[in-house]
Structure 1
């Protein structure tokens, strides 16, 4: 089989394609023929050596992928040959709160999906919805679960409330689709007229041009009759955080999904930002396997299709990284493996 490995970090040039023997699944493992894998921002940070969790030398990259089970190890009981699966971003985090002993991540500390055959622990695997293509299924584990948890933590959101999503990144698109399925109104922001139309096509009710309206929180409040939104999925911080607070209703929640910037930034909150809100601020960092299973049930029930922007062949995986980094996207950038 062919597989990509990252011997070191600091540049995409370190990513190498090698030929290796197809592995044999051990007890509790699945041998999966990879069909598609998708790129997240964290994958760029890993190749650049800027990710908070150090990558293992020689790791197979990419946390997100999907494929077909072609072999099972002894004691496997949850899956069979022929099953279509993906796997949890945190393969050892099954349920409950995140704990130090389960902090391994696919494509970082343990081998990920950028390979023709992947070994996946049975405990990490999840069946994918039948209606999804391989490329769509490969979009679920990171951005999909992050958006799901931003919306569904206990007490977070009920039908009829209003959600604000910022920009057109993967988490924002997933959050918009899921919030609409939950019966919520969605407001989005972008500076592109073309992307505004695409946001409306995935269900966003109102779009605010943040370039034309730098104080975009005022327009968001106007759209809500002055009340503000019930939940902000804050994917653009820290620079946008003050505006998110001003757009929030009195008892809103702001789910702060930190972005690692090229240069360290200081999160600044002014008195004016805080004066009109008693909002609760919380964080999410993807989620566990049971939350991925819940997302898959919701995607299947509502026939949601993750947005895929561009696909590349396996031999062009480095071009896929560069395209994701340099060209922007509306939806996932996917590598077709087989």
Structure 2
């Protein structure tokens, strides 16, 4: 079945590893559908730091030559292969990042070889063929650009909060969550935690961003530049018991304070290291390394530290149902780009001036 049959698609590919200048725009034939594939008219997309790393040759997993980049995308099903059962023409869908990660634990093979926009052609194009297993239904109240933001940052935050079994036990009415800054994962974590009934302490380095965090529901905001030992302050805000869960995005520069904020038997979900890797290079010096808690401290202070890499399709479907029920809307930067201006969007991402996800409208 099909709604229409486009012949060509405008698209971007990565040709070399010189940063955004490696992006090349062209018009190519629409790929033929395999039996298990769905043809999607992509209407909205968003950018991730991984997209920039791919153009720089710094992405640590498999990147196909002349890859069509972009993991985040949402659009309308135009046609389906003969064996497709999950979708029909007219359905609104969102892409997943790890196309073979349906449920359960992530495997090395899936992480290396099935990444949308890296090892498998992605979303920065008008039309694309995707395995039906690599798509989820889109919440009805969000725009296509907003829906695209759920693919990576959204499900990462969801997994950080509710994955691994413990999150569902320790969150909810009366629970405390600590989020860091105004990056996309942190903003999603704040929104999802509030929707679950938890109370949220958010940190920021900028007084100008306090109002944004409060508008999304933060119960307390701590400026960590003004309060270097913010972990103790966060614990005091909970009445002295500590927070149930920290969504840790900065790594060695903050993880000591995150641990200090935790209650007994709390959890740190480590989703990134924007503050550096703590390997003695760059800004992560020996003093910073000394501030990183050891594994033994998880026993001494009784907390769980859990690493998070995005999430499964099952988790994404669960998240989308919650987004639909709660009315959560992803935070999109005020500057939204057209597909033709993708290279400029990459440069905007590299400058770090965005608040929320950088959106791409596709016509």
Does 2:234 match 1:226? no
Equivalent of residue 208 in structure 2, options 194, 197, 212: 194
Q: Aligned residue for 2:358?
A: 333
Aligned CA RMSD, in angstroms, stands at: 1.8
Residue among 143, 155, 169 paired with 2:166:
155
Match of 2:83 among 72, 75, 79: 75
2:354 and 2:248 map into 1 onto residues whose CA distance is 18
Q: Which residue of 1 aligns with 2:340?
A: 315
User: Given the two structures, how large is their TM-score scaled by the length of structure 2?
Assistant: 0.89
Contact preservation (8 Å) 1:245, 1:274:
no
Q: Matches of 1:68 and 1:123 in 2, distance apart?
A: 16
CA deviations on 1:2-60 (whole Å, 9 max, x unpaired) are 10001222421111111101222111111111101101111122222212113111111
2:27 pairs with 1:19 = yes
How far apart are the structure 2 equivalents of 1:191 and 1:331? 16
- How has the CA–CA distance of structure 1 residues 270 and 286 changed in structure 2, closer, same or farther, with 3 Å as cutoff? closer
Q: How far 1:297 sits from its partner (Å)?
A: 0.4
Secondary structure (helix, strand or coil) at the match of 2:166 reads: coil
Mean Cα displacement is larger for which, 41-50 or 129-138? 41-50
Aligned to 2:74: 66
Q: Distance in 1 between matches of 2:110 and 2:19?
A: 28
- Cross-structure match for 1:119: 129
1:215-250 CA deviation, whole Å, 9 max, x = no partner?
A: 211221221122221100001112111111111112
Give the whole-Å Cα distance in 2 for the aligned partners of 1:89 and 1:303. Answer: 23
Distance of 1:240 and 1:43 partners within structure 2: 25
Q: 1:181 aligns with which of 195, 216, 220?
A: 195
- What is residue 325 of structure 2 aligned with on the other side? 301
* Distance in 2 separating the partners of 1:101 and 1:246: 36
Aligned counterpart, 1:203: 217
Q: Indicate yes or no: 2:297 matched with 1:284.
A: no
Q: Which residue is 1:96 aligned to?
A: 104
Question: Quick one: which of 146, 149, 154 aligns to 2:156?
Answer: 146
* Aligned partners of 1:35 and 1:68 also within 8 Å: yes
> What are the superposed Cα offsets for residues 280-309 of structure 1, whole Å, 9 maximum, x if unpaired?
101110111111100100000111111111
Report the CA distance between 1:270 and its aligned residue: 5.3
Are the aligned partners of 2:171 and 2:198 in contact in 1 as well (CA < 8 Å)? yes
Higher deviation after alignment, 123-132 or 18-27: 18-27
What's the secondary structure of 2:40's corresponding residue? Answer: strand
